[in-house]
Structure 1
Amino acid sequence: MSKAIAASIVPFFDRLCGLASASQDGRMLDAGGLQRSLELDLARLFNTRNGLTVEEFLSCEPSVLHYGLPDSLSLSPQSQVDLDIWASVLQRCVEMFEPRLSHVRIEVKADRTRPDAARATLAAAVMLGRQLCRVSFDVALNSQAVQVEAAA
């Protein structure tokens, strides 16, 4: 009887960039390597700006031309309405450009230590071989950059 392998193929972009360090053979990722790969891809995605307004991004047809986040300078981390909009933007961005993640839930809150920033929690499921695994990431948002870290 064959044994199911709990691994995922290293994404092509990671192989091109030489980021297969989490993989012993350079072709398959274990759970930690997959989480690191997702973390890097989410950081790339969230730190790319697409030139759309928030309204345009939320209503546009999916296209590679819209990769990344829209201009968010109009959003205030002190406004609950704007935090809800941030959650919708992040949700749509992940749905459009990170196909490995499913059952995505995003919650955005004001950062209590920085009045100009917000913090998001991204929880999702990802396939590791034939097994559905849970992953979560902490996302620090401000007007200049986004930092993504795997949640403990």
Structure 2
Amino acid sequence: MAAKEQQGENTPSLLDRLIDNEPRNRDVRQEPAKSLRQLKAGLRRDLEWLLNARRPPVDLPEGAGELERSVFYYGLPDVSSLSLNSVTDQRLLVRVIETAVAAFEPRLTGVRVSLQPVNRNTQTMRFQIEGMFRIDPAPERVTFDTTLELISGEYEVEGERSAG
């Protein structure tokens, strides 16, 4: 593992390592630029899955804080009861997203979510999810444009754009 880190290679997510899109191809070496694109695409996909997963609507028992970072608590709480026209509820949603990404996406550090005004015509809410993508040889700041479809409650995370 230390040898890989010194060479500047990045390990794909567990899911990406389990998926084999080219089972007949025995070559495991990837081009660095292609590999970086694939790592970012995997991060985008995993963020979208995280935001679209719903955790159970239960309060955790006292002293069971480890459950907050477990598969049991993966995802976001149901926000359908929030009034997303309310500034207070909008801020709560931003905090919930930041907390979930920080807890369940270890490849991103310094996560910050910013909200754009609600578009009443399209019934969508737009966010930007920013953070430092922990990759070798140097971390890279990334920003993902994210849309919440208010009617369906579905999030769409769009491709990364460089933030800096």
TM-score normalised by the chain length of structure 1: 0.79
Cα distance, 1:151 vs. partner?
4.1
Structure 2 residue identity aligned to 1:88 = R
Query: Is the radius of gyration larger for structure 1 or structure 2?
Result: 2
TM-score normalised by the chain length of structure 2: 0.74
- Larger strand proportion of the pair: 1
Match of 1:66 among 73, 79, 82: 73
Which residue of 2 is the match for residue 25 of structure 1? 29
Q: Structure 1: how far apart are the matches of 2:102 and 2:46? A: 13
Cα distance, 1:77 vs. partner?
2.5
Which residue of 2 is the match for residue 10 of structure 1? 12
Cα distance, 1:6 vs. partner?
4.8
Q: Which runs of 5+ in 1 are unaligned?
A: none
Q: Structure 2: how far apart are the matches of 1:49 and 1:110? A: 24
Structure 1 residue identity aligned to 2:156 = Q
Contact map agreement 2:40 2:160 (CA 8 A) in 1: no
| Matched length | 144
Give percent identity, aligned residues only.
28
Which residue of 1 is the match for residue 143 of structure 2? 136
Structure 2 residue identity aligned to 1:39 = R
Q: Which runs of 5+ in 2 are unaligned?
A: 1-5, 23-27
